[in-house]
Chain A
């Protein structure tokens, strides 16, 4: 069965610290896609990244970086030099060919303290 686990329910760090959000997934498919979304207090989900199962290269976009490791079924997200505006709920999600819908993790609520 497909499943996404975000074990960290809530994290608080002081501004400028680095923080890593964990995501572990389960799927029987060999072809699948992983996503990260950000949901600020205003409500909309903002798409951050999509990664397919055949591309294990790590990705960096500004202060954001993602570490995809198929061997441990993990797709972790690191924010470097965090800022107050990074405070939000972050969802990891899985989309494979077996199911017709995206499976979301329960989300990690990130608080960046000034």
Chain B
């Protein structure tokens, strides 16, 4: 079991649906991350939250909307996704964003867009 918990583990949605991915950590980490990973590729950074503020947005389309309600939670709201958005979405956390500490990853949500 990882210390970063992601729900749901699997999600199938249509292109007109609205859904949310959730991520939770209780390690006291102040940096949290969303990554997208396509098959046989490395993870690609989407967003970084540092002390609950959006720190980095890697030019992600607006159909992905991150939210950090508190220091333990990170959400990714999805709306009007495209089939090419089907991927494994990984959440990670680290002590903070600047100290080069290792990131701890969740199990991911496998997202399929019909």
Contact = CB atoms under 8 A, between A and B. Distances in A.
Given A100-B97, A101-B56, A45 B43 contact: yes
A71 B23 CA distance: 40
B106 interface: yes
Contacts, number: 51
Interface of A: 33, 35, 37, 42-47, 50, 52, 91, 95, 100-102, 104-107, 109
B41 A106 contact: yes
Given A33-B100, A35-B102, A44 B107 contact: yes
B58 to A, nearest CB: 8
The size bracket of the interface on B is: 20 to 34
The 7 closest A-B pairs by CB, nearest first: A104-B42, A45-B105, A43-B108, A44-B107, A33-B100, A47-B102, A101-B45
Contacts of B102: 35, 47, 50
B76 interface: no
B102 to A, nearest CB: 5
Given A33-B100, A35-B102, A95-B100, A44 B42 contact: no
Contacts of B55: 100
A107 B37 CA distance: 12
Contacts of A44: 2, 90, 105-108
